[in-house]
Amino acid sequence: MRRYDEPVEVRCGLLAGTETEVPEQFLWRGRLWKVRSVLEHWVETGEWWRHAGVRAVIGSDEPTGDQPARPRPLEDLLAERAVWRVEAGRGAAVRGLEDAGGVFDLALDVDARRWQLVGCAD
């Protein structure tokens, strides 16, 4: 899967028979993609184990070598993003092109309510 970090517009709808909202379609690089199925869903947290404050509390305040260039605020410890791995195909038929579709990872920054495409295998 190729990794990306690009903003996308996502339209959500209710999953049949539930009250859970899931991505139904998204606009990426000017193209409309319709979600055929949700393959997986998970929630990621901020990398709390890398924060200097956490290392100080657990007594491991030695630099790890994979530190960010500048310290991140404590709020990053609580940051969450919800990720949906979806199978999607082109929304509008393109004459002469076969729609093979692809698998996409769509991430929602829970606090900012901002969507990003973070992975694609097409």
Per residue in 52-84, pLDDT tens? 766 667 776 665 555 555 555 655 566 789 999
Q: What is the mean pLDDT of residues 6-18?
A: 92
pTM of the model: 0.73
Residue-wise burial string across 69-105, b where 16 or more C-beta atoms lie within 10 A, e elsewhere: eeebeeeebebebebbbbebebeeeeeeeeeebebbb
Judged on CB neighbours under 10 Å (0-12, 13-18, 19+), 117 is buried
What is the per-residue pLDDT for 63? 57
Average pLDDT, the chain: 83
Helices (H), the chain: 52-58
Residue type, 18: T
